[in-house]
A = this chain, B = another copy of it.
Amino acid sequence: MSTTGITAPAGFTAAALTAGIKPSGNPDMAVVVNNGPEFNAAAVFTRNRVVASPVKLSRKAIEDGQIHAVIFNAGNANACNGSQGDKDAAETQQRIADLLGVQPTDVGVCSTGLIGELLPMDKIRAGVDKLVPALGDNGSAAAEAIMTTDLVKKETLVKGAGWTLGGMGKGVGMMSPSLATMLVCLTTDASATPEMLDTALRAASKVTFDTLDIDGSTSTNDTVFLLASGASGVTPSQEELNAAVLEASEDIARQMQADAEGVTKRVVVTVEGTSTDEQALNAARTLARDNLFKCAMFGSDPNWGRVLAAVGMADADMDPDHISVYFNDQPVCIDTTGAPGAREVDLSGPDIDVLVNLGVEGPGRATVRTTDLSHDYVHINSAYSS
């Protein structure tokens, strides 16, 4: 059994193969199957109002809290393809369901890749047919097959008392860039109701995937599944489940941040000194999305003036004369005025922590993980229909 990933927990098998969707010839289809005895599940999806055909199907599939399998393809998002896209996603779902002997509505569907190209259904059909006989302890192969612009595959494993929770993910943004959609599948052999799973997944997503913000762009295809087989026979408490799902989500989110398109710096932005957590999150996101700030981070430049200029536009309570900024715990701006030595702070390392206090008495606090804006980000995302 795998030591990490989606097939490490008992009750799960997976398969992956090259169907020929990616021009690179790399693996591009995968399936994860829950072999039971339980089939409880939860999922969260993109908040974009333009959603891909597979997201529409997966949203319906999760309604009853039961999922037997999730099928993935990379290299084509099957988004903005009209009714033909809906038909192609449904045919894929029906075909794998028939082969597994389950209902189509028991199968989740995830796609990632270019928007606006029809799925090559001949390749998809052939791929589906070959996936089922190949099912086994292939979590790592599945993690590799769902990659797009990812440079490394992303897997995790969290151990509970007598149960485990594994996972895989791909992508590089806040439910995220259009050609680097975030897809995550978490699996556990714990026994848990759909409600428990939903509670744990929503709580974890809120502080991990939802606060990972590479470029402010949100995909049409983002999906996170959590599947529970109950094969361990152990029922954790809600708190234990929450903790494991949070730990696994944090691990996958960190791996995404580290592999983000063109990243040279991992930047953690924390905002406090404002009225509510939501306001703190607004300000942290505003800063994390500010291109001038992100360029300064790329240049290892402790240019705190850009932090002030960015947060000054945020929808958050603040005292404009009493804002403080710290880079890697060193004060660079106190009461909206430069601190001694601010220009000499060394930001040459790969990790930069930014703490902003907006100067208002209040419990609001939030953290967003982002990256710098580099030459490579522009290069990766300006190549023709990359």
Contacts and interface: CB of A to CB of B under 8 A. Distances in A.
Interface string A283-308: 00000011110011011110111101
A245 to B, nearest CB: 26
B216 A291 contact: yes
Counting contact residues on chain A (CB < 8 A from B), the size range is: 35 or more
A313 B46 CA distance: 10
B310 A217 contact: yes
Given A220-B312, A310-B217, A337 B179 contact: no
A336 B50 contact: yes
A50 B320 contact: yes
Interface string A110-151: 000011110000000000000000000000000000000000
A375 B379 contact: yes
A2 to B, nearest CB: 34
Interface in A57-98: 77, 79-82, 85
Contacts of A85: 337
Among A50, A290, A306, A310, the most chain B Cβ lie within 10 Å of the Cβ of: A50
B323 A217 contact: no
A221 to B, nearest CB: 9
Interface in A231-256: none
Contacts of A373: 291, 378, 382
Contact of A378 (B298, B300, B335): B298
A178 interface: yes
A371 to B, nearest CB: 11
A49 B318 contact: yes
A80 B49 contact: no
Contacts of A114: 305
A309 B220 contact: yes
A50 B343 contact: no
Contact of A218 (B295, B299, B313, B335): B313
A360 B359 CA distance: 43
Nearest to A113: B305
Number of copies: 2
A48 to B, nearest CB: 4
B116 A292 contact: no
A339 to B, nearest CB: 9
Contacts of A303: 115, 385
A304 to B, nearest CB: 6
Nearest to A305: B115
A338 B306 contact: no
Nearest to A219: B309
B305 A342 contact: no
A148 to B, nearest CB: 13
Contacts of A384: 299-301
A81 to B, nearest CB: 6
A336 B10 CA distance: 42
Residue with the greatest number of chain B CB neighbours at <10 A, chosen from A215, A217, A379: A217
Given A50-B312, A218-B313, A291 B291 contact: yes
Interface in A335-386: 335-338, 342-343, 373-375, 377-379, 381-386
A159 interface: no
A50 B323 contact: yes
A378 B85 CA distance: 37
A34 to B, nearest CB: 31
Nearest to A314: B49
